[in-house]
Amino acid sequence: MESRVRVRFAPSPTGPLHIGGVKTALLNYLFARKHKGDFILRIEDTDQARLVPGAEEYINEALEWLGLVPDEGVKQGGPFAPYRQSERKEIYREYADRLLKTGWAYYAFDSPQELDDIRNKYESENRTFSYDASVRRTLNNSLALGEGKSKEKIEAGEPYVIRFMMPENVEVLAHDIIRGEISFNTSTLDDKVIFKSDGLPTYHLANIVDDHLMQVSHVIRGEEWLPSLPLHVMLYKAFGWDMPKFAHQPLILKPSGQGKLSKRDGDQLGFPVFPLEWKSPAGEVSSGYRESGYFPEAVINILALLGWNPGTEQEIFTLNELIESISLERVTKSGARFDPEKARWFNQQHLQRKSNKELSTAFISLLNKKGIKIEPSFVEKVVGLVKERAVFVNDLWDQSYYFFIAPDSYDEKTRNKFWNSDVTKDCLKIIRDTEPFTSDNLESGLVSYVQSKNIGFGKVMNPLRLAIVGAGIGPHLMNIMELIGKEETISRIEKALVKLR
């Protein structure tokens, strides 16, 4: 029987969560849900110098807003707590010691200055220094010094790191679900630091140990981690552990298609690259998808289709449809170009799919901020008439303000082209006599007038629209009149006849 699917999203709280990170979280979440498995959020904060206040809370809030709530994590707890790496440091030391005992690691006492001097010497000879098998026995470490001397240094309190001892000239094969077979030779790799002088592990050791102890079955992460794969494979071999299955998904590329999408691209082209607005400790504000008016389900839809092909023509997906359709084998190897216009289109599609009631709830809070208090049933009807022209909820105001406030000014171009006070006065009489005051009855009365005068319908509708709306915009005019009511319609036309005299 195959073991339970357990995946993890393991961000570092060094700033706001980039949408590339969200995309990784999403793929992990979808895969876990599809296979009835577990989605873990682990906070990788071993690089204490780079931690940013508020970043961990931001990560949790972003995932919750998107509906990607972890099964286990710092907030949720779980059987493998703690889920914050800085609270697990005793665990890592035990495993670093195990590698020292089995000869897979060694103490290195080289100071930063010593290493800089060696690098400079190599550079002066047009060579590149690498702390690897070719030089390690000549440097300031326990391999060269021997056990006795090393012990003395440690007891004297001399700072040290622990390095992984990469074997010489071994061909290693690893399998990636997205990329297929990946082979490498250990001679091309250096002896990475796995435990730092501050008593904390590096990402590499902590990540392997945690994935093993938390029973992670699949490591789904961004392709920027591909260069680390050989070391991770060797660490699994050194511990004698079964490896999880690996899948490295492609990067999100700039709109130009050249290079990884960055905050600068968003700033220059005016779109967010973070799920939520972020205020840095220095006070710099970066825009977020939530605050820009995007629906969380639209953001998820956008990201899911970057670098994944469902194998059908379908583009609009709900979260449940994505769970059903997701397959790591259909994730592409090459980077996916981010298209800001397509992102807007996705939001528009999701807005159209929402019920008028759902949209009116969001719109009412916007109206309240403008000091407009109105019946929810009225707002619902308005939304039904204008939503097809909106991309964001905020657009509903631009498309419908005239339902809530009578015009005070009139579009000059429309006035010069279409205004006709005689026709408008005739129409006002018809409107006064229309009972019951419905769209169909209004249309019937105005059509009869047009036919009797033998004029085009536009000659009637354009001046009437100018009087009622203030511009040549909006849905079917009879619907507008029915909704604002007879009294308001007559009042607006009378006002226009005075102001446009």
**Angle of CA points 434, 435, 440, to nearest 5°:** 75
pLDDT 10s digits, 96-131: 999 999 999 999 999 999 999 999 999 999 999 999
In a domain, 249, yes or no: yes
pLDDT of residue 3: 87
Cα(201)–Cα(195) distance, integer angstroms: 4
Total Cβ atoms within 10 A of residue 48:
10
Residues 96 and 59 in one domain: no
Q: Exposure of 225 by Cβ count < 10 A (0-12 exposed, 13-18 middle, 19+ buried)?
A: middle
State yes or no: pLDDT of 359 exceeds 90.
yes
At 172, which CATH number?
Answer: 3.90.800.10
Which segments within 191-234 are labelled E, that is strand? 193-195, 218-222
Mean pLDDT of 218-238: 97
CB 52 within 8 A of CB 281: yes
Residues 212 and 291 in one domain: no
Tell me how many domains the chain contains: 5
Total Cβ atoms within 10 A of residue 108:
23
Cα(276)–Cα(488) distance, integer angstroms: 41
Residues 177 and 153 in one domain: yes
pLDDT 10s digits, 63-81: 999 999 999 999 999 999 9
In a domain, 170, yes or no: yes
In a domain, 278, yes or no: yes
Q: Taking the alpha carbons of 374, 377, 378, 379 in that order, is the dihedral positive or negative?
A: positive
Residues 299 and 313 in one domain: yes
Query: Could you tell me the pLDDT band of residue 83, with boundaries at 50, 70 and 90?
Result: very high
Residues 180 and 122 in one domain: yes
Residues 486 and 426 in one domain: yes
Catalytic residue among 34, 75, 263, 486: 263
pLDDT of residue 177: 97
pLDDT 10s digits, 246-305: 999 999 999 999 999 999 999 999 999 999 999 999 999 999 999 999 999 999 999 999
At 220, which CATH number?
Answer: 3.40.50.620
CB 142 within 8 A of CB 195: no
- pLDDT above 70 as % of the chain: 100
Mean pLDDT of 461-490: 98
pLDDT 10s digits, 312-352: 999 999 999 999 999 999 999 999 999 999 999 999 999 99
Total Cβ atoms within 10 A of residue 329:
8
Instruction: Give the type of residue at 356.
Output: N
CB 27 within 8 A of CB 331: yes
Residues 248 and 229 in one domain: yes
Residues 110 and 151 in one domain: yes
The residue segments making up the domain with residue 358 are 354-404
Pair of tokens at residue 401: 């303000």
Residues 312 and 365 in one domain: no
Instruction: Give the type of residue at 342.
Output: K
Rg (CA), the chain: 33
In a domain, 215, yes or no: yes
Instruction: Specify the DSSP element, H or E, that contains 225.
Output: none
Total Cβ atoms within 10 A of residue 199:
10
pLDDT 10s digits, 164-223: 999 999 999 999 999 999 999 999 999 999 999 999 999 999 999 999 999 999 999 999
In a domain, 200, yes or no: no
State yes or no: pLDDT of 1 exceeds 60.
no
pLDDT of residue 281: 92
At 320, which CATH number?
Answer: 1.10.1160.10
Instruction: Give the type of residue at 222.
Output: G
Total Cβ atoms within 10 A of residue 98:
14
Cα(315)–Cα(325) distance, integer angstroms: 12
pLDDT of residue 178: 97
Domain C-terminal end among 336, 351, 366: 351
Pair of tokens at residue 449: 């007038």
Residues 66 and 209 in one domain: yes
At 477, which CATH number?
Answer: 1.10.10.350
Cα(291)–Cα(339) distance, integer angstroms: 19
Closest by CA to 28, choosing from 12, 37, 43, 39, is 39
State yes or no: pLDDT of 434 exceeds 80.
yes
Q: Give the 3-state secondary structure of residue 243.
A: coil
User: From the centroid of its chain, how far is CA 445?
Assistant: 53
- pLDDT above 90 as % of the chain: 98
Residues 209 and 65 in one domain: yes
Asked if 263 is an active-site residue, the reply is: yes
State yes or no: pLDDT of 236 exceeds 70.
yes
Mean pLDDT of 88-95: 95
Domain C-terminal end among 195, 214, 233: 195
In a domain, 77, yes or no: no
- What's the helix, strand, coil split of the chain in %, to 5? 50, 10, 35
In a domain, 237, yes or no: yes
Cα(40)–Cα(254) distance, integer angstroms: 29
pLDDT of residue 47: 87
Residues 484 and 454 in one domain: yes
pLDDT of residue 346: 98
pLDDT of residue 2: 66
**Preceding peptide of 53 cis, ω within 30°:** no
User: From the centroid of its chain, how far is CA 21?
Assistant: 7
In a domain, 186, yes or no: yes
CB 288 within 8 A of CB 273: no
pLDDT of residue 48: 87
Cα(277)–Cα(361) distance, integer angstroms: 23
Cα(202)–Cα(179) distance, integer angstroms: 26
Residues 6+ apart with CB under 8 A from 408: 470
H/E/C letters for each residue in 31-87?
HHHHCCCEEEECECCCCHHHCCCCHHHHHHHHHHHHCCCCCEECCCECCCCCCEHHH
**Preceding peptide of 16 cis, ω within 30°:** no
